[in-house]
Structure 1
Amino acid sequence: MKVIYSNSIDKYFNCNTGVGLGNFDGLHIGHMALINTLIRETQLNGLASVVYNFTKHPENILRKKLITPLLLTEQKKIDLLSEINLDYLYFDEFNENFSRLSPEEFVKQILIDKLHIKLAVVGYDYKFGYHGDGNVEFLKELGKKYGFRVIVISPITCDNEIISSTRIRELVINGDLETAYKLLGRNYSITAEVVSGRRIGNTIGYPTANINPERFLVLPANGVYITKTLLDGKFYNSMTNVGFNPTFEDCKQKNVETHIIDFNQDIYGKKIEVFFLKKIRDERKFESVEQLMQQISKDMCQAKEYLGIGT
Structure 2
Amino acid sequence: MKTIYASTSDYSFKKPTGVGLGNFDGLHLGHMALIDTLINESDLHSLESVVYTFVKHPENIIRKKLFTPLITTLEKKIEILSKRGLDYVYFEKFDEKYSRIKPEDFVEGILVKKLKMKLAVAGYDYRFGYKGEGDINLLKELGKRHGFKVIVIPPVKLEDEIVSSTNIRKYIKKGDMHKAFLHLGRHYSIKGQVERGKGIGRTLGFPTANISPKSYLVFPKKGVYITKVKIEDCIYPSVTNVGNNPTFGGNSYISVETFIMDFNKDIYGKEIEVFFIEKIRNEKKFSTIEELIIEMKKDLLKARKYFRSEYCT
Q: TM-score range by the shorter chain?
A: over 0.9
* Paired residue type of 2:34: L
Tell me the distance in 1 between the aligned counterparts of 2:272 and 2:287: 32
Q: Deviations over 1:269-302 (max 9, x none)?
A: 1000000000000001000000000000001000
* Paired residue type of 1:85: G
Tell me the distance in 1 between the aligned counterparts of 2:174 and 2:132: 29
1:278-293 to structure 2, matched below 5 A, reads 278-293=278-293
Over aligned residues, Cα RMSD in angstroms? Answer: 1.1
1:275 alignment counterpart = 275
* Paired residue type of 2:199: R
The answer (yes or no) to whether the contact 1:119–1:148 under 8 Å persists in 2 is yes
1:85-124 to structure 2, matched below 5 A, reads 85-124=85-124
1:10 offset after TM fit, Å? 3.2
Tell me the distance in 1 between the aligned counterparts of 2:296 and 2:7: 51
Paired residue secondary structure (1:225): strand
The answer (yes or no) to whether the contact 1:143–1:149 under 8 Å persists in 2 is yes
1:46 offset after TM fit, Å? 0.5
1:164-243 to structure 2, matched below 5 A, reads 164-243=164-243
The answer (yes or no) to whether the contact 2:12–2:114 under 8 Å persists in 1 is no
Tell me the distance in 2 between the aligned counterparts of 1:189 and 1:155: 24
Paired residue secondary structure (2:198): coil
1:159 offset after TM fit, Å? 1.3
2:155 alignment counterpart = 155
* Paired residue type of 2:96: E
1:133 offset after TM fit, Å? 0.8
Q: Deviations over 1:156-188 (max 9, x none)?
A: 001111100000000001100001100000000
The answer (yes or no) to whether the contact 2:224–2:280 under 8 Å persists in 1 is yes
Tell me the distance in 2 between the aligned counterparts of 1:67 and 1:11: 31
* Paired residue type of 1:116: K
User: What number of residue pairs does the alignment pair up?
Assistant: 310
* Paired residue type of 1:210: N
* Paired residue type of 2:137: E
* Paired residue type of 2:45: N
Paired residue secondary structure (1:80): helix
Q: Deviations over 1:134-166 (max 9, x none)?
A: 110011001111111100001100111110000
* Paired residue type of 2:271: K
Tell me the distance in 2 between the aligned counterparts of 1:82 and 1:104: 30
Tell me the distance in 2 between the aligned counterparts of 1:237 and 1:45: 45
1:44 alignment counterpart = 44
2:3 alignment counterpart = 3
1:8 offset after TM fit, Å? 5.1
Tell me the distance in 1 between the aligned counterparts of 2:122 and 2:266: 46
Tell me the distance in 2 between the aligned counterparts of 1:244 and 1:9: 42
1:9 offset after TM fit, Å? 4.6
Paired residue secondary structure (2:248): coil
Unmatched segments (≥5 aa) in structure 1 = none
1:64 alignment counterpart = 64
Unmatched segments (≥5 aa) in structure 2 = none
Tell me the distance in 1 between the aligned counterparts of 2:150 and 2:163: 22
The answer (yes or no) to whether the contact 1:34–1:153 under 8 Å persists in 2 is yes
1:55 offset after TM fit, Å? 0.5
Paired residue secondary structure (2:10): helix
1:265 offset after TM fit, Å? 1.1
1:33 is the counterpart of 2:33 = yes
1:196 offset after TM fit, Å? 1.3
1:298 is the counterpart of 2:298 = yes
* Paired residue type of 2:169: R
Tell me the distance in 1 between the aligned counterparts of 2:254 and 2:178: 22
1:112 offset after TM fit, Å? 1.1
1:65 offset after TM fit, Å? 2.2
The answer (yes or no) to whether the contact 1:9–1:114 under 8 Å persists in 2 is no
Compute the TM-score of the two structures, normalised by the length of structure 2.
0.97
Tell me the distance in 2 between the aligned counterparts of 1:8 and 1:281: 46
1:75 alignment counterpart = 75
Indicate the larger mover: 6-15 or 212-221.
Answer: 6-15
* Paired residue type of 1:251: N
Paired residue secondary structure (1:308): helix
Percentage of matched positions with identical amino acids: 56
Tell me the distance in 2 between the aligned counterparts of 1:146 and 1:8: 28
The answer (yes or no) to whether the contact 2:4–2:11 under 8 Å persists in 1 is no
Paired residue secondary structure (1:101): coil
1:84 offset after TM fit, Å? 1.2
1:20 is the counterpart of 2:16 = no
